[in-house]
Amino acid sequence: MIRTDAGSGVRQDALTKAAGRERYSIDETPPGCLWAGALRAGVPHARIVRVDTDAARRVPGVVAVLTRADVPGTNRQGIVHKDQPVLCGERVRHCGDPVALVVAESREALAAGLGRIHTEFSPLPGVFDPAAALLPEAPLVHSDHAGGNLLAQGLMEKGDASAAFADCAAIVSGRFETPMQDHVFLEPPNGLARLRPSGVLEMIVSTQAPFRDRFEIAHALGLDPMRMRIRAPFLGGGFGGKDGATVQCLLALAALHLPGRWVKMVWSREETFLAGYKRHAAVVDIRLGADADGALRALACSMLFDAGPYAHLSAEIMALGMEHAAGPYRIPHTRIEGRCAHTNNPVGGAFRGFGVVQATFAIERALDALARRLDRDPAELRRQNALHPGELNGVGVPVESGTLGTDVAACLDAAMAHPFWTEREAWQRAAPPLTRRGVGLVATHNAMGYGRGLPDHAAAKLELTRHGGFRIYNSVPDMGQGNAAAFVTLAAQALQQPETAFECLQPDTARCLPAGSSSASRTTYTFGNALLRACRSMAEKLRARAALVLLCDDPERLRLIPGAVHDPVSDRSVPLPFLASLLPRDDRLCIDQFTMPVVQNPPDTGREFRLGFPHRFYAYGACVCGVEVDVLTGQIRLARCLETVACGRVLSLVGVEQQLHGAAAQGAGLALFENMALNAGRIGGATLSAYLIPTALDLPDLPDFACLTLDDDEPTGPMGLKGMGEIGIHGPGPALAQALEHALGMPLEAMPGGSRLPLSPEAVLAALEGISS
């Protein structure tokens, strides 16, 4: 059954955002604040010969020019691996590396100061291809790295893939490539910092992980993490690009040298392209074998990720990609190898999909090739091999069974029953003149949470205010996905109160309790569970305190009703404002916590990955894309898109649809438009006039941009929900490729560049010319 009736669809933060009243960190500019900016290397690999700051210091309004010599502590930042300098002192390893920090009284003085710094570099040989980086003669990005340019490698396997291929009736193989991708969030990296007279470092930052930021800054600058206060207002987008330090360490450094004054830093769009993290480019070699009846038997997969010059989360992203390499399919024998290599390209980092995007494109394209080899309908082949609850996934972990048993097969069934799929041939025949149409369908899955080995934890605080309302102390930032609104909905339902009775405080390390980052599709699940536990304590407390007023000797019979606690026996009520007025603040607070359950009996594989492998919970989905191809220009247009998803109970149907629409648009951008145009480590498309992302004109209008959410329930989830922030991005890439094949009547692998994203009009025209000739 398809869900269509869940949730009111009105987010609590909608009005303040629509009216422009919501305050983001970029909106905070205290009177008299200083401005900070970094001078970037602009060269991909070089020794620093000289950084002459004398002229910059003489610019009126410039109050400080800082270099590596001014950095206390280790000067090394990084979430897991601390290898990225705050300011480079001897060597730069990519064009975005910072070599000096200027602080000025105005933005004009800042620009002038940055322009007066003279640098001299001695170029070093660079390496810009991850495969070339692993050759023995490759220039070393880190001369002291024991593994050369090999940052990390791993192996996950199940059964005996090598032997199983010998028994396969059909085997296909191919190489599939996905490019770097920029997050292009609306609000660029920015923040404020001030060192207070008390010695506390205060910050307001656009960040996905304020609690973790304290430790990253402290390690880099030699500070006490407990003497920092970080506030994280709503973010204007993040998608993983703010999961890790951007402005944080630079701002903290500036504040340390100019105590007492606020210092603000805002990256331009161009600086964000230059210095920000990127989705890893990846090359995936895959070999897939099946019986004559289409039953999958063996998979061999080798993934190579371009990490850029610093580790950031590359090894963890590679691990998750490997974990998903077999797709949501039943394959008895798998061997999945992964490597990630240092290059002098931009830094690879977290991005919605976190390695799964690359894996999904490869396995889904391999399934298309297998369907052709077996003369099978690609959708039916996927349906035949779809994982069911209790079966082992590609790395040997049993698939969890929700109470409703909704799985990838149900998602495929819903997609295959939709008119976008059942009427595809008629839709194709009705193509306008000089246009070809095609339709593709794929299946998807995405793990939720950090995985085994890393506590996926959140603590929640809930307060009954003096006026009888409720305040949620939210610990995980909301970057636009709507988790803050979801927390209000969860708490309102749990306490039987209207949502208007709730205020949701955004993360503040001085007022809220510690929680992990806003990432990994774990935010609502983990903090939501902690919050519901706090709500249960609050309900019990309110009944107990109200019983004193109502002279009731059985608090359990009392009921929470909107704005009051009611005794059904006496038909008397205690208004919450009155009850709140009787209680001291300590008695109006409830605190609880939650840690995500993990796989208890992990398979004996992936031993290189101590953190984050394997995962226990997954969301499932399917995606149908219909494309139109202009035979004169080669332009490909996404004309129809359907996302079906099983993500636990739907708390807000509109919220889920917004996530799916946004994720699908981002996936379509990767598939059709986005191209960094890297040339020897330099980004050619480093502006929004050159780096194209989908606009409203490039996406289908409703109802041709459809979402179906299936009845589902996750018994461990808050009110049955699971995380689903990432599942929607995986389908469009491979579904668009399959649809293009359907439109052109030929496999993309026969086209120049047909096995890599983005799919280009030039390749389409070349294919059409080949067909006509």
Looking up residue 469, the CATH number of its domain turns out to be 3.30.365.10
Kindly indicate the confidence band of residue 4, based on its pLDDT and cuts at 50, 70 and 90.
very low
- How far is 83 from 85, CA to CA, in rounded Å? 6
Does residue 285 share a domain with residue 259?
A: no
pLDDT at 555 over 90: yes
Does residue 501 share a domain with residue 612?
A: no
pLDDT at residue 632, as a whole number? 96
Please indicate whether residue 145 or residue 366 has the higher confidence score (pLDDT).
366
**Domain annotation covers residue 270:** no
Average pLDDT of span 682-687:
93
Q: CB neighbours (10 Å) of residue 500?
A: 11
pLDDT at residue 109, as a whole number? 98
**Domain annotation covers residue 713:** yes
Domain boundary among 534, 565, 595: 595
The 3-state DSSP composition of the chain as helix, strand, coil percent (nearest 5) reads 30, 25, 45
Q: Is 448 exposed, middle or buried (0-12, 13-18, 19+ CB in 10 A)?
A: buried
pLDDT at residue 649, as a whole number? 94
Does residue 678 share a domain with residue 559?
A: no
Q: Which parts of 600-700 are beta strand (E)?
A: 618-630, 636-646, 678-679, 682-683
Interval 450-472: pLDDT, tens: 999 999 999 999 999 999 999 99
pLDDT at residue 9, as a whole number? 60
Kindly indicate the confidence band of residue 8, based on its pLDDT and cuts at 50, 70 and 90.
low
pLDDT at residue 753, as a whole number? 82
pLDDT at residue 508, as a whole number? 98
**Domain annotation covers residue 273:** no
Average pLDDT of span 145-162:
96
Domain boundary among 546, 568, 595: 595
Q: What is the DSSP letter of 258?
A: S
pTM of the model: 0.96
pLDDT at 1 over 60: no
Average pLDDT of span 606-627:
95
Domain boundary among 564, 595, 626: 595
pLDDT at 118 over 90: yes
Average pLDDT of span 659-688:
96
Q: Which parts of 343-464 are beta strand (E)?
A: 435-447, 457-464
The dihedral through the CA atoms of 391, 395, 400, 401 has a sign that is negative
Does residue 226 share a domain with residue 341?
A: no
Q: Is 530 exposed, middle or buried (0-12, 13-18, 19+ CB in 10 A)?
A: buried
pLDDT at residue 359, as a whole number? 98
Does residue 286 share a domain with residue 250?
A: no
Does residue 698 share a domain with residue 640?
A: yes
Kindly indicate the confidence band of residue 5, based on its pLDDT and cuts at 50, 70 and 90.
very low
Per-chain mean pLDDT for the chain: 96
Interval 197-246: pLDDT, tens: 999 999 999 999 999 999 999 999 999 999 999 999 999 999 999 999 99
Strands 263-266 and 190-195: antiparallel
Average pLDDT of span 479-506:
96
Q: What percent of the chain has pLDDT over 70?
A: 98
Kindly indicate the confidence band of residue 754, based on its pLDDT and cuts at 50, 70 and 90.
confident
Residue 102 belongs to domain spanning? 24-124+191-265
For residue 690, give the amino acid letter. Answer: A
Average pLDDT of span 575-589:
98
Kindly indicate the confidence band of residue 773, based on its pLDDT and cuts at 50, 70 and 90.
low
pLDDT at residue 6, as a whole number? 47
Does residue 311 share a domain with residue 247?
A: no
Does residue 717 share a domain with residue 752?
A: yes
| Domain count within the chain | 3
pLDDT at residue 224, as a whole number? 98
Does residue 534 share a domain with residue 432?
A: no
Dihedral angle at the C-alpha atoms of 719, 720, 724, 728, nearest 10 degrees?
Answer: -130
User: If you count them, how many residues does the chain have?
Assistant: 773
**Domain annotation covers residue 164:** no
Tokens 């009284």 locate to: 105
Does residue 522 share a domain with residue 608?
A: no
pLDDT at residue 752, as a whole number? 81
**Domain annotation covers residue 289:** yes
**Domain annotation covers residue 747:** yes
Terminal-to-terminal C-alpha distance of the chain: 49
**Domain annotation covers residue 3:** no
**Closest residue by Cα to residue 612 from 242, 350, 302, 301:** 350
Cβ distance 278 to 308 under 8 Å? yes
pLDDT at residue 3, as a whole number? 47
pLDDT at residue 2, as a whole number? 42
pLDDT at residue 361, as a whole number? 98
Q: What percent of the chain has pLDDT over 90?
A: 94
Give me 629's structure tokens.
């191809």
Give me 439's structure tokens.
């339709």
Tokens 């009845």 locate to: 711
Instruction: Say which CATH number the domain at 43 has.
Output: 3.90.1170.50
**Domain annotation covers residue 748:** yes
Does residue 428 share a domain with residue 310?
A: yes
Q: What is the CA radius of gyration of the chain?
A: 27
Cβ distance 84 to 219 under 8 Å? no
Does residue 212 share a domain with residue 75?
A: yes
